[in-house]
Amino acid sequence: MTATTAADPKAATTRQADQVTPEFEAAIDEIVTHYPVSKRSASLPLLHYWQNTFGSVDDSGIEWIAARLELQPINIYELVTFYPWFRREAAGKTIIRVCRTLACAMAGSYEVKEKFCSAVGLDPLAEHHGFGEAPPTSADGKFSVEFVECLASCGSAPVALINNTLHEKITPESIPGIVGQYQ
Ligand code: FES
């Protein structure tokens, strides 16, 4: 993790943990009550709540959640960098996740991803390494596009999860209309 120091005023003012409100803390406390046997089991729910609130999970978020669950920061950091859903950098307002597992790949998901990238002004060949890195994001900050693994809707391939909505049986021709719903 990158250490945040007092000598870095920009980093100091953008720490997510400094934006935690009493309402946020109350919501976190409520989530933790669902895991009376082991608070550590609340790690993933807390990470989801954090990312839904702040858009990503920065160092201060990792440390805040670890302290709240009486864990070490590494216990949270390893989750953020293991699960592709979590990211340490902000992504676009709309995130287009195209499935690339077998059924979708055979049904044309590689072309679908390429068309989504073109429709939102992204280089289809832009590299994305994961491990908490934000997916390629359009210059206006509106869209990010990435591949994901099976979205459990293989019978309606190819599919994409756009924010929280699943789009099924996507054709290249349908993509401008789908993107238009999120402009
Ligand atoms: S392979 Fe794409 S949803 Fe299962």
Q: What is the tens place of the pLDDT at every residue in 45-92?
A: 999 999 999 999 999 999 999 999 999 999 999 999 999 889 998 899
Q: 73 and 113: one domain?
A: no
Mean pLDDT of 108-132: 88
Mean pLDDT of 141-164: 96
Mutational test site, ligand 1, from 110, 150, 169, max ligand atoms within 8 Å of CB: 150
CA distance 19 to 42: 21
Residue 3 lies in a domain: no
107 Cβ closer than 6 Å to some ligand 1 atom: no
Q: 147 and 116: one domain?
A: yes
The pLDDT of residue 174 is: 97
Look at residues 82, 110, 125 and tell me which one is the last residue of a structural domain.
82
Q: Are 122 and 143 in contact (CB under 8 A)?
A: yes
Q: 46 and 102: one domain?
A: no
The pLDDT of residue 13 is: 59
Look at residues 31, 55, 82 and tell me which one is the last residue of a structural domain.
82
176 CA → ligand 1 middle, Å: 22
The pLDDT of residue 9 is: 46
CATH number of the domain to which 117 belongs? 3.40.30.10
Q: 172 and 98: one domain?
A: yes
pTM for the predicted model, two decimal places:
0.81
Q: Considering only 81-90, 91-100, 142-151, 174-183, which range has the smallest mean pLDDT?
A: 81-90
CA distance 36 to 52: 23
Q: 24 and 46: one domain?
A: yes
CA distance 170 to 167: 7
CA distance 168 to 56: 27
Number of domains present in the structure of the chain: 2
Residue 47 lies in a domain: yes
Q: 167 and 112: one domain?
A: yes
Which strands form 143-148's sheet, in the order they lie side by side?
A: 143-148, 94-99, 160-162, 165-167
pLDDT reading at 17 higher than 90: yes
44 Cβ closer than 6 Å to some ligand 1 atom: no
151 Cβ closer than 6 Å to some ligand 1 atom: yes
154 Cβ closer than 6 Å to some ligand 1 atom: yes
Rounded mean pLDDT of the chain?
91
Mean pLDDT of 128-151: 87
pLDDT reading at 5 higher than 60: no
pLDDT reading at 3 higher than 90: no
CA distance 65 to 19: 14
pLDDT reading at 162 higher than 80: yes
Q: 98 and 136: one domain?
A: yes
Mean pLDDT of 152-157: 98
The pLDDT of residue 11 is: 47
Q: Are 76 and 65 in contact (CB under 8 A)?
A: yes
CATH number of the domain to which 21 belongs? 1.10.10
175 CA → ligand 1 middle, Å: 18
Q: Which residue range(s) make up the domain with 131?
A: 94-180
150 Cβ closer than 6 Å to some ligand 1 atom: yes
Look at residues 26, 59, 82 and tell me which one is the last residue of a structural domain.
82
Q: 107 and 135: one domain?
A: yes
146 CA → ligand 1 middle, Å: 14
